[in-house]
């Protein structure tokens, strides 16, 4: 017997009856109380479930989706088939995520795509170097300029998806040459992270008053 189950509720109801009203063995009384105990046990289970939905770390099912919608709107929806634990971690990470910094932008793009972006600030010597120190003839590198303050060039990379691995394309020499062909769903050909998701991540982490020039590539 555990707290709140049918047997526990049954014993609690019996303890509330005045002493001496019924004998020790009364099947009619017990049958009636047993039915009430079942309803109370169900109500207690519902109470525990409702209580769990009030905290991010214990919320489940659609209530966790509502929490994500409340905090981030449509910017952090659950992936298809994503489990509660995985989606909960995404919510917690994004709530306490570092923002409005270079490191914050780098980290959010890495979490989104699995690849670190290339971030170059023209007015930052660490990125562009200085003549006679880190840049010289015959060495490739970005050209800096102090006339471009509060600006950055960001190269974001799309996720490296599996695509149609080990399947020949129609326009390839291997197609039809004793190789089994098949039709694949479109969801397997495109990654879950779109270019719009990458742009939204950049916009969410760029400092106010700055200009970000970005490009998205494979």
pLDDT digits (tens, 9 = 90+) for 130-152: 766 655 556 667 778 888 889 99
Helices (H), 19-101: 27-52, 61-72, 84-95
- Which residue's structure tokens are 């914050």? 104
Lowest mean per-residue pLDDT among 5-9, 23-27, 58-62, 131-135: 131-135
φ and ψ of 53, to 5 deg: -75, -5
CB atoms within 10 A of CB 120: 18
pLDDT digits (tens, 9 = 90+) for 11-27: 999 888 888 787 778 88
Angle at 43 (CA atoms; ends 87, 11), nearest 5 degrees = 130
- Closest listed residue to residue 200, CA positions, set 88, 101, 112: 112
To the question of pTM greater than 0.85 for the whole model, the response is no
CB atoms within 10 A of CB 43: 12
Helix (H) or strand (E) run with residue 154 in it:
strand 151-157
Give the residues across from 156 on adjacent strands: 216
- In whole numbers, what is the pLDDT of the chain averaged over residues? 84
pLDDT tier for residue 210 given thresholds of 50, 70 and 90: very high
pLDDT tier for residue 68 given thresholds of 50, 70 and 90: very high
């Amino acid at each position: 017997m555990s707290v709140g189950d049918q047997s526990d509720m049954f014993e609690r109801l019996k303890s509330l009856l005045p002493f001496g009203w019924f004998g020790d063995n009364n099947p009619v009384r017990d049958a009636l109380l047993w039915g009430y105990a079942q309803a109370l046990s169900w109500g207690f289970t519902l109470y525990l479930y409702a209580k769990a939905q009030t905290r991010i770390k214990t919320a489940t099912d659609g209530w966790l989706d509502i929490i994500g919608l409340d905090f981030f709107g449509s910017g952090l929806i659950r992936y298809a088939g994503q489990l509660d634990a995985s989606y909960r971690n995404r919510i917690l990470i994004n709530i306490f995520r570092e923002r409005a910094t270079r490191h914050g932008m780098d980290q959010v793009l890495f979490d989104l795509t699995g690849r670190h972006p290339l971030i170059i600030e023209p007015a930052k010597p660490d990125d562009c170097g200085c003549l006679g120190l880190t840049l010289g003839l015959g060495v490739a590198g970005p050209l800096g300029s102090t006339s471009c303050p509060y600006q950055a060039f960001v190269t974001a990379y799309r996720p490296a998806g599996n695509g149609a691995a080990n399947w020949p394309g129609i326009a390839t020499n291997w197609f039809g040459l004793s190789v089994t062909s098949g039709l694949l769903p479109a969801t397997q050909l495109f990654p879950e992270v779109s270019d719009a998701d990458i742009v939204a991540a950049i916009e969410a982490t760029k400092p106010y008053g700055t200009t970000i020039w970005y490009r998205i590539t494979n």
